[in-house]
Amino acid sequence: MKRLFAILQLLVLLLAPAAAFAAEGGQEGGHGEAHGGEHHGINWYYGNVYESDEIDHPTLIARPKGMAPPVTALLLNSALLYLILFKILGPGIKEGLKKRKQDIMKGMDDAAKMKKDAAVSLKQYEDKLKHIDEEIDRVRREMREAAHAEREQILREAKERRDRMEREAKLLIEQEIKAAREELMRETVRAAVSTAGDLLVKQLSSSDQQRIADEYLTSLEQAVNAKGGQA
């Protein structure tokens, strides 16, 4: 209903100049005669189709020459023009208005969401401002705890590094001590063998040495003979 009323208002505004022109034409035609008669005022409905010099009295279809166009014809022509424009431009205008409405609604929704987010952020900031001293104490406490934890970690890593170095140094020392002990043992055995050999040589007499040499030669000959018999 509101839409129809708006359309009627638009038609009235658009047809007002045409009605005024028709009234002016009617008044001008009223100053003289048109085929023996005068035509005064606004032509509301006479001669909707054509005007002619051969008629004296206007009808709904024809009007005398010089008579102003009827308002009904202007209304009909305007209605036809608006109908054609509506059929041609209506879908595009409708789609444009629909898109415009969607954009406006989306903008309103975005604005409402931004307003809501801003209100939430404002409340959060206000709460933080109310507890700013507690927040400062909390930050300081967290910084102290973080510094203490970092210090403990550094000390723990240093202790682990020291223990690892001590173990590696102890292992290296044990390996060196073991190698030195083995070397010392070998030197001791060599010295003992050498000493024992010297003592044995000194204690043997010439007859003992001759007897050992003979025994050695005898065993050597037996080994050679045994080898030859097997061949």
For residues 11 and 3, the answer to whether their CB atoms sit within 8 Å is no
- 8-state DSSP, 52: E
**Mean pLDDT across 65-73:** 80
Cα–Cα distance between 84 and 82 in angstroms, integer?
A: 5
Cα–Cα distance between 224 and 218 in angstroms, integer?
A: 10
Distance of CA 32 to the CA centre of its chain: 83
For residues 47 and 69, the answer to whether their CB atoms sit within 8 Å is yes
Distance of CA 93 to the CA centre of its chain: 37
Neighbours of 196 (CB within 10 A): 10
Mean pLDDT computed over every residue of the chain: 76
pLDDT of 59:
82
How does residue 26 score in pLDDT terms, banded at 50, 70 and 90? very low
- pLDDT exceeds 70 at position 52: yes
Selected residue with higher pLDDT from 142 and 32: 142
pLDDT of 29:
43
- Give the bridge partners for 37, in sequence order: 34
Least confident stretch, 29-38, 111-120, 174-183 = 29-38
